[in-house]
Amino acid sequence: MATAGLLLAAGAGRRFGEPKALLRYRGRLLVEHAAAILTAAGCRPVVVVLGAQADQIRARTRLPEVVLNDDWATGMGSSLRAGLAALTSGTAEAAVVTLVDMPGLTPQAVRRVARDATADSLAVATYQDGHRGHPVLLGRHHWAGVAEAAAGDRGARDYLRAQGDAVRLVPCADVADGTDVDLPEQAAAFEITRALE
């Protein structure tokens, strides 16, 4: 069953002074690294949602399918809606959603969360102390409800909370680091640098 990869990479990265998609990690831009993780995990198609400085990012990268979110400044919810809308016309029965600022994500974690995906699936990766994070698996039958609930920077959180025990929790701490890199000191720990450094 086809499972798409959906990478949210539209934010401005205000704390860094540039979009996180433009940060460098292991010899390439962070957005390319994140998209490659989804591709290596077998996701088809892989859709990348861009917003802030999208033209510059596209000019400096080779990305799979790109969706532009003109409302990126309103938060992650609008990027999630844009990405799911782009996938609706395709054949994927589910989508694995992740964020551009997770350098410690691995294909193993993505495959584990996407295992046995169906149109009815909901799953969330968990890390230390059961902390919920990304990737998140959203079956096609849930996309409309997720899109309706996504607002600001909350993404699918409220929708998933409302589904209770229907959400499969998938321990991933043994195969990935679930850290979202939000601060410069976190970036330094992963040896992430600004694109021009």
List, for residues 39-95, the tens digit of each pLDDT value: 999 999 999 999 999 999 999 999 999 999 999 999 999 999 999 999 999 999 999
Note the helical H segments in 61-176: 76-88, 107-114, 143-149, 157-163
- Any domain includes 194: no
Q: How many domains does the chain have?
A: 1
Tell me: pLDDT of 98 over 70. Answer: yes
| 80: containing domain | 3-189
Asked if 91 and 138 touch (Cβ cutoff 8 Å), the reply is no
Asked if 97 and 3 touch (Cβ cutoff 8 Å), the reply is no
Q: How confident is the model at residue 1 (pLDDT cuts 50, 70, 90)?
A: low
Q: What is the CATH number of the domain that holds 96?
A: 3.90.550.10
The mean of the pLDDT values for the chain is 94
- Any domain includes 195: no
Scanning the structure block, which residue is given the tokens 């890199």? Answer: 181
- Any domain includes 52: yes
Residue 109: name the closest of 124, 122, 94, 121 by CA: 124
**From the centroid of its chain, how far is CA 73?**
17
DSSP bridge partners of 46? 5
Asked if 146 and 156 touch (Cβ cutoff 8 Å), the reply is yes
- Any domain includes 108: yes
